[in-house]
Amino acid sequence: MKGIPVIAVFDVGKTNKKLFLFDEDYKIVFERSARFTETVDEDGDPCENLESLRLSIFDSLREVFKDPSFEIKSINFATYGASFVYIDANGKPLAPLYNYLKEYPQELKEQFYNTYGGEEEFSNRTASPVLGSLNSGMQLYRLKYEKPELFESIKYALHLPQYLSYLISGEAYSDITSIGCHTNLWDFTNNQYHEWVEKEGIAEKLAPIVSSQHVMPAAFPGNNYAVGVGFHDSSAALIPYLVNFSEPFILLSTGTWCISLNPFNSSPLTTEDLEADCLCYLQYEGKPVKASRLFAGYQHEQQVKRIAAHYGTDVITYRAVPYSPTVMAKLKDKAKVADFAVRDLNDYPTDVMAYHQLIKDLIDQQYVSTQRVLQGTEVRRIFVDGGFSKNAIFMNLLAAVFPDVEVFAAHMAQATAVGAALAIHDSWNTKPLPNDIIALKYYAGGTVLY
């Protein structure tokens, strides 16, 4: 008996590395998770254990290929961005997978920006705030000047999703979602690589760009299946929404960072935008996505610990605090401040009141952040996914500050992996594109409606 047709998607985060098998209805029929201990680079800085990751992918594939209940039709990848694997002519990695948080030499940074027009003008053209190693193109620039022999030996610099694809297909390509995400490589004004990429000899180290829907035959043993070129994870998570909704929307993706993604805003970034942590992505069809970031999830986590310590409670208590209009009415005269961290908790008789104040303060910041990508567009819907979509206080207050916009909590299991599967739908799925994979809950100006 033949196994059910599935796609295998590797979803590689900094902490968790997951393999999912989806059937033709986009239901998860198999899941495997792994975590590796980080290793260190030559400077002693922590970095991804590339060899463990490579072996884990091969082991996982062997396991599912042996299972007669599945017939793997395609494989795709979605991983964190801003990380390059440098391979030689034989496909062997030449260096560690340097961490995007690795400190960048100030002298080299100044040399770069002074040569190419200054930070402000350069950042405007590449839609990339100055972020050091997190601008992955700067990692290549650094190798050229600090390790010229290594640089000369590089056949291709592949962003991590494309390296994983290369492991299975044997073909090296670049993908627009990885290139177009705060890399310093892409000139959004001219819609091509920035001139420095050519001038510094970087262009010849970058593999040819192919469409995100491109698939290749596999070189790794197994049945006859196709391999996608892989995705930057933030861009992959947007795909299910682009497939399911044609009316303009913003996706507020919440986690450690709360990122407002507007695929319907192509206005150039201003200097003020860049200073306020706005940037542009390129989505899987090559169109720009204006985005703004807020470190709200991290702030929430730290302040919940402070509240729990002050009131002698457990942080778990705050995972499902119901929204209280009565408590909010008592807070209405409290001064607006930039940061809950500076508030005196003795001003709040109960922990529930303090927690409502924390969320209110975060919403004040979130309003400013989201408004940066909303203003001047036709967007009338905000979809919230991730941790805060399950927070009733956050969702009610967000709806209250955006009274002219429909606000929805969106739930979809594994949006990043589903996005990578949807992008190459035609290569493995005989059914039409699904229109029911995102569950929505509507919030109306402070009252939840089911």
pLDDT tens-digit readout, 25-45: 999 999 999 888 899 999 999
Torsion-angle region of residue 383: left (phi > 0), alpha (psi -120 to 50) or beta?
Answer: beta
**pLDDT class of 93 with cuts at 50, 70, 90:** very high
pLDDT at position 334: 81
pLDDT at position 435: 86
- Same domain (yes/no): 186, 243: no
Rounded mean pLDDT, 259-280: 87
- pLDDT greater at residue 424 or residue 281: 424
pLDDT at position 223: 67
- Same domain (yes/no): 225, 87: yes
Which phi and psi angles does 374 have, rounded to 5°?
A: -85, -40
Strands 84-87 and 156-159: antiparallel
Which phi and psi angles does 422 have, rounded to 5°?
A: -60, -35
**pLDDT class of 238 with cuts at 50, 70, 90:** very high
**pLDDT class of 215 with cuts at 50, 70, 90:** very high
pLDDT tens-digit readout, 274-323: 888 888 989 888 889 999 989 999 999 999 999 999 999 999 999 999 99
- pLDDT greater at residue 15 or residue 109: 109
- Inform me whether the pLDDT recorded for 15 exceeds 90: no
pLDDT tens-digit readout, 342-383: 999 999 999 999 999 999 999 999 999 999 999 999 999 999
Q: What range does the domain containing 290 cover?
A: 233-450
- pLDDT greater at residue 266 or residue 50: 50
pLDDT at position 350: 97
- Same domain (yes/no): 336, 440: yes
- Same domain (yes/no): 216, 240: no
- Inform me whether the pLDDT recorded for 405 exceeds 50: yes
Task: Quote the CA–CA distance of 366 and 92 in Å, as a whole number.
Answer: 44
- Same domain (yes/no): 109, 172: yes
- Same domain (yes/no): 130, 273: no
- Same domain (yes/no): 277, 410: yes
Average pLDDT score, the chain: 93
| Segment among 117-126, 163-172, 200-209, 326-335 with least mean pLDDT | 326-335
Rounded mean pLDDT, 252-261: 89
- Inform me whether the pLDDT recorded for 230 exceeds 80: yes
- Inform me whether the pLDDT recorded for 218 exceeds 60: yes
- Same domain (yes/no): 224, 118: yes
Rounded mean pLDDT, 95-107: 95
Could you tell me the CATH number of the domain that includes residue 385?
Answer: 3.30.420.40
pLDDT at position 386: 85
Q: Which of 182, 201, 229 is the last residue of a domain?
A: 229
- Same domain (yes/no): 219, 357: no
pLDDT tens-digit readout, 118-134: 999 999 999 988 999 99
| DSSP bridge pairs for 12 | 17, 79
**pLDDT class of 448 with cuts at 50, 70, 90:** very low
Q: Which of 229, 249, 269 is the last residue of a domain?
A: 229
| Cβ pair 141, 200 in contact under 8 A | yes
How many domains does the structure of the chain reveal?
2
- Same domain (yes/no): 433, 390: yes
- pLDDT greater at residue 273 or residue 105: 105
Rg of the chain on CA atoms, in Å: 23
**pLDDT class of 16 with cuts at 50, 70, 90:** confident
- Same domain (yes/no): 188, 265: no
pLDDT at position 222: 66
Q: Which of 175, 203, 229 is the last residue of a domain?
A: 229
Sign of CA dihedral 365, 367, 368, 372: positive
pLDDT at position 449: 39
- Same domain (yes/no): 369, 397: yes
Share of the chain above pLDDT 90, in %: 79
- Inform me whether the pLDDT recorded for 70 exceeds 90: yes
Rounded mean pLDDT, 234-240: 90
